[in-house]
């Protein structure tokens, strides 16, 4: 296990070194010249190169082909090093402290979450079997798109690129998939840590040229992104205080919390919801990164995190020098625009929900640049800005066009949300800490803008921009038959958030009158306002997917809140860095306000760390062997199945396929196909219904599996097996229980037993 970890880390570091020259070019304004972000962009581009070469049938996605690709990259790096070693050594000497600290950040985050995985390695619960199925499907695939191991004969109909990226890394390292699964989770944490550290550190250093403040701010953002839970723990703490159990909780933290609610650590991710008379009216998911990591689902929203931060780094780099970028007068400009588009497309391929959010943020930042532009040739500036935006969008779209053209379109569309709003108690239970950090800064920024001469035009422009979204929604709301009293009730519930967005928009727009703020301050306010906007969106609209009634906006809240958490974490680090260099202390009253802000935020933050310490202890009490192998637990829990999985993995190919029982989602049904990547006719039908607009096909497959196990007609069964090109049938406890098989020996008449132990038989069609 230790050797595998060192090999994995060495490979990630090696990839970072290979791509450092590219990053130094793309992030020339960064203090670290892109060193921090080089690992992330390297892993992404290698994964994309393997994928696109496979799509074009130029090269397969085998270990041999990946090694050749990396060898070519190493040769190119060696040529660059030969001619640039003096520059590189000078760069290392000038930034040695930065490089060392960034590596400490990466290794620390990786090690912490690796420790979590070692103590809870089992691929067993929630959607872990599904994630593992995707990972194995991809590792088994020689060419994309990979075949769906739970839908024999058809490709994965899901945004699978995150699994492809980490599967490629696992193939390159030669580590088995059940270990790659857990190493990937730890790597996502490490890569996310170093990515957000890079953004905040470099922006604060760019503004203040204060190394110490930049380090503090970067580390603060890492803590907020990865370590801190949402604010429900703070309110639980207050409840504990008033219940009289506070002192006891410090001596028996787990028992004390569990006595209130055995699933307390899980409930922090299910805060916002509403039921009436026992009927669920609104159920949402409110996951945050730390929760996602301790749960252990290798899911797209989590895998995308370091790459979202990479994309934000590129967008911010364009934002900082936008007046120069839109002139299109050097090769560096074209390269930055191209890679921004490429990374944006890849992020959409990893988690499609991130794509419109990043496009929206990029558009907002361009709009901000237009608002604050004070140079000549304003018309040409706007034209250049639009060309830049559409070029990035076009590159992002074209880069993943083969994926988009290969998936079946699901019948999803945007709907107006007319259900119950999130109440403010629940809302603050998620966002109190971020509000405490960022909203006072927003107010401070607004107060500074009041020192300028009031502009009616800017006031009206700000009102128009802020009210535009609500006005469109209000019209659609009324079209749905709702009355005006309900409309006003909804408006007054969300108006506090709108007010803060207005303060930010007005303050930014006042830079038209006079450039009273620096670019990084404007960026910080924009990020805060955009995060607030993401929180408003699911109160107004939602993506209408297969979930209905009280679950209608579940996914919309889940995905937008998670993205808002990332952006808030960046903005909060920037607020700290800017505040450390501000002259707040002008008067006794202001001094007291600042002290109150710092103390109250610190108290809430310290209380929230209680969750950080106790939740993993609570979660990791299961008696698993300390390992990184996510399948190892089966040796003790179900050794017969463990043997069968090993046999299938070594002796049955994805071309052969298997049949196993079809059962409920979130269960151990479909385990053998999931754990081997050898496709079965159907697995987890509920999830297949989410991914595919093929309800009838899913139903027929389930019936066909039923008939394979129940029918005594040999020719009929053989016909069904031939229909799906499947040659092996699993007969184990799940199959016998599900299909009430009284005579499994019936398969002996036309099939051969190729594997048998105390519980499981595997049959192969007799040739």
Specify whether the CB–CB gap between 294 and 615 falls below 8 A: yes
pLDDT for 585 equals 46
3-class SS of residue 401: helix
d(CA 667, CA 675): 13
Q: Token pair for residue 46?
A: 């290698």
Q: How many Å is the Cα radius of gyration of the chain?
A: 27
Handedness of CA 460, 464, 467, 473 (dihedral sign): positive
Q: How many whole angstroms separate alpha carbon 217 and alpha carbon 210?
A: 11
Helix (H) or strand (E) holding 207: helix 177-208
User: Would you state the structure tokens that stand for residue 427, as one six-digit string?
Assistant: 């809302």
At which of 375, 404, 433 does a domain end? 404
Cis upstream peptide for 145 (omega within 30°): yes
Look at residue 133 and tell me if it is in a domain.
Answer: yes
Render 129-164 in DSSP notation, one character per residue: HHHHHHHHHHHH-SSSSPBPTTSTTSB--S--HHHH
Q: How far is CA 459 from CA 453, 455, 516, in A?
A: 12, 6, 17
Calpha distance 17→42 (Å, rounded): 9
Q: 30, 202 in Cβ contact below 8 A?
A: yes
**C-alpha 439: how far from chain center:** 25
In a domain, 341, yes or no: yes
Distance CA 466, CA 232 (A): 29
- Residue 202 to residue 185: CA distance in whole angstroms: 26
Q: What's the CA gap between 169 and 44, in Å, rounded?
A: 10
Residue 568 within any structural domain of the chain: no
Q: How far is CA 404 from the centre of its chain?
A: 20
- Please report whether residue 316 resides in a domain: yes
**3-state SS, residue 270:** coil
Task: Give a yes or no: residue 326 inside a domain.
Answer: yes
Phi, psi angles (nearest 5°) of residue 687: -70, -35
Specify whether the CB–CB gap between 445 and 507 falls below 8 A: yes
* pLDDT value of residue 380: 86
Q: Residue 751: beta bridge partners? A: 765
Residue 756's domain is classified under what CATH number?
3.40.50
Give pLDDT, residue 253. 54
Q: Which of 404, 425, 450 is the last residue of a domain?
A: 404
Q: Confirm if 670 and 658 have CB atoms less than 8 A apart.
A: no
Which residues, in sequence order, are bridge partners of residue 731?
A: 761
Q: Pull the structure tokens for residue 417.
A: 């949300």
Estimate the share of the chain in helix, then strand, then coil, as percent rounded to the nearest 5: 70, 5, 25
- Residue 670 corresponds to which tokens in the numbers above? 């479909």
Residue 624 lies in a domain: no
Q: Are 303 and 162 in contact (CB under 8 A)?
A: yes
State the total domains in the chain.
Answer: 2
With H, G, I as helix, E, B as strand and everything else as coil, classify residue 328. coil
Which of 362, 388, 404 is a domain's end point?
404
> Residue 415 pairs with which residues in a beta bridge?
542
The parts of the chain modelled with pLDDT lower than 50 are 251, 585
245, containing H or E segment: none
Got the DSSP string for 482-528?
--HHHHHHHHHHHHHHHHHHHHHHHHHHGGGT---S-HHHHHHHHHH
Q: Which domain holds residue 712?
A: 638-765
**Phi and psi, residue 23, nearest 5°:** -65, -35
Q: Is residue 364 part of a domain?
A: yes
Integer Cα distance of 349 and 397 in angstroms: 10
- What's the CA gap between 106 and 15, in Å, rounded? 14
Measured between alpha carbons, how far is residue 526 from residues 42, 268, 503, 508 in Å?
29, 28, 11, 8
Residue 516 lies in a domain: no
β-strand partners of 763? 729, 753
User: Could you tell me the two tokens for 351?
Assistant: 């988690």
| φ and ψ of 160, to 5 deg | -105, 5
Under DSSP, is residue 766 helix (H, G, I), strand (E, B) or coil?
coil
Q: Are 300 and 351 in contact (CB under 8 A)?
A: yes
Where does 56-154 have alpha helices with state H?
Answer: 63-94, 96-119, 128-140
The model's pLDDT over 214-243, given as tens digits with 9 standing for 90+, comes to: 999 999 999 999 999 999 999 988 877 776
- pLDDT value, residue 321: 83
Cα of first residue to Cα of last residue in the chain, in angstroms, is 42
Q: What is the pLDDT of residues 458-507, one digit of tens each?
A: 888 888 888 887 777 777 777 666 666 666 777 777 888 989 999 999 99
Q: Burial level of 264, CB count in 10 A (0-12/13-18/19+)?
A: buried
Nearest C-alpha neighbor of 142 from the set 68, 51, 69: 51
């Amino acid at each position: 296990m230790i050797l595998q970890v060192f090999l994995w880390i060495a490979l990630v570091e090696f990839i970072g070194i290979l791509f450092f020259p590219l990053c130094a070019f793309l992030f020339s304004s960064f203090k670290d010249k892109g060193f921090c972000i080089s690992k992330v962009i390297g892993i992404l581009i290698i994964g994309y190169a393997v994928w696109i070469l496979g799509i074009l049938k130029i090269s397969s996605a085998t270990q041999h082909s990946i090694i050749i690709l990396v060898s070519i990259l190493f040769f190119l790096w060696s040529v660059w090093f030969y001619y640039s070693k003096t520059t590189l050594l000078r760069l290392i000497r000038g930034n040695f402290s930065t490089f060392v600290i960034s590596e400490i950040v990466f290794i620390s985050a990786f090690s912490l979450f690796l420790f979590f995985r070692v103590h809870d390695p089992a691929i067993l619960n929630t959607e872990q079997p599904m994630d593992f199925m995707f990972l194995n499907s991809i590792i088994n695939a020689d060419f994309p798109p990979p075949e769906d191991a739970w839908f024999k004969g058809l490709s994965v109909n899901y945004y699978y690129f995150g699994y492809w990226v980490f599967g490629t890394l696992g193939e390159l390292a030669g580590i088995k998939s059940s270990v790659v699964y857990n190493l990937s989770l730890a790597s996502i944490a490490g890569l996310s840590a170093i990515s957000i550290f890079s953004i905040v550190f470099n922006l604060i250093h760019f503004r203040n040229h204060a190394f110490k403040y930049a380090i503090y701010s970067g580390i603060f953002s890492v803590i907020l992104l990865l370590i801190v839970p949402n604010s429900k723990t703070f309110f639980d703490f207050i409840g504990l205080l008033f219940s009289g159990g506070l002192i006891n909780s410090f001596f028996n933290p787990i028992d004390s919390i569990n006595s209130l609610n055995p699933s307390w650590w899980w409930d922090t991710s299910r805060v916002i919801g509403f039921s009436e008379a026992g009927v669920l009216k609104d159920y949402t998911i409110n996951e945050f990164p730390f929760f996602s990591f301790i749960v252990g689902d290798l899911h797209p929203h989590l895998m995308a995190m370091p790459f979202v931060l990479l994309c934000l780094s590129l967008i911010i780099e364009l934002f900082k020098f936008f007046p120069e970028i839109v002139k299109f007068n050097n090769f560096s400009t074209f390269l930055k625009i191209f890679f921004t588009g490429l990374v944006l497309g890849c992020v959409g391929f990893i988690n499609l929900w991130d794509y419109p959010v990043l496009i929206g943020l990029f558009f907002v930042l361009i709009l901000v640049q237009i608002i604050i532009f004070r140079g000549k040739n304003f018309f040409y500036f706007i034209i250049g800005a639009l060309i830049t935006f559409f070029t990035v969008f076009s590159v992002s779209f074209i880069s993943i066009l083969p994926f988009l053209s290969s998936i079946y379109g699901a019948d999803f569309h945007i709907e107006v949300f007319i259900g119950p709003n999130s109440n403010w108690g629940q809302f603050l239970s998620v966002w109190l800490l971020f509000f405490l950090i960022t909203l006072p800064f927003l107010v401070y920024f607004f107060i500074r803008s009041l020192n300028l001469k009031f502009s009616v035009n800017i006031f009206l422009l700000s009102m128009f921009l802020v009210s535009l979204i609500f006005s469109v929604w209000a019209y659609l709301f009324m079209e749905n038959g709702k009355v005006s009293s309900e409309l006003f009730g909804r408006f007054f519930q969300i108006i506090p958030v709108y007010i803060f967005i207005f303060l930010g928009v007005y303050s930014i727009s006042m830079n038209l009158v006079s450039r009273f703020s620096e670019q990084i301050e404007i960026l910080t306010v924009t990020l805060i306002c955009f995060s607030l906007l993401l929180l408003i969106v699911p109160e107004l609209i939602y993506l209408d997917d297969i979930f209905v009634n009280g679950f209608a906006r579940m996914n919309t809240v889940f995905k937008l809140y998670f993205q808002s958490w990332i952006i808030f974490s960046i903005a909060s680090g920037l607020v700290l860095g800017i505040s450390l260099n501000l002259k707040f202390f002008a008067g006794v009253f202001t001094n007291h306000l600042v002290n109150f802000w710092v103390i109250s935020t610190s108290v809430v933050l310290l209380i929230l760390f209680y969750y950080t310490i106790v939740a993993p202890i609570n979660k990791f009490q299961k008696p698993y062997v300390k390992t990184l192998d996510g399948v190892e637990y089966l040796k003790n829990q179900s050794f017969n199945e463990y043997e069968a999985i090993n046999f299938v993995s070594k002796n049955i190919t994805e071309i052969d396929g298997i049949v196993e029982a079809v059962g409920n989602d979130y269960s151990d049904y479909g385990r053998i196909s999931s754990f081997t990547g050898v496709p079965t006719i159907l697995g987890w039908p509920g999830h297949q219904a989410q991914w595919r607009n093929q309800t009838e096909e899913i139903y027929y497959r389930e019936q066909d599996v039923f008939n394979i196990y129940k029918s005594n007609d040999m020719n009929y069964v053989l016909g069904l097996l031939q229909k799906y090109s499947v040659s092996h049938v699993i007969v184990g406890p799940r199959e016998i229980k599900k299909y009430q098989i009284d005579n499994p020996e019936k398969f002996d008449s036309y099939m051969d037993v190729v594997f048998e132990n105390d519980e499981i038989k595997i049959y192969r069609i007799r040739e």
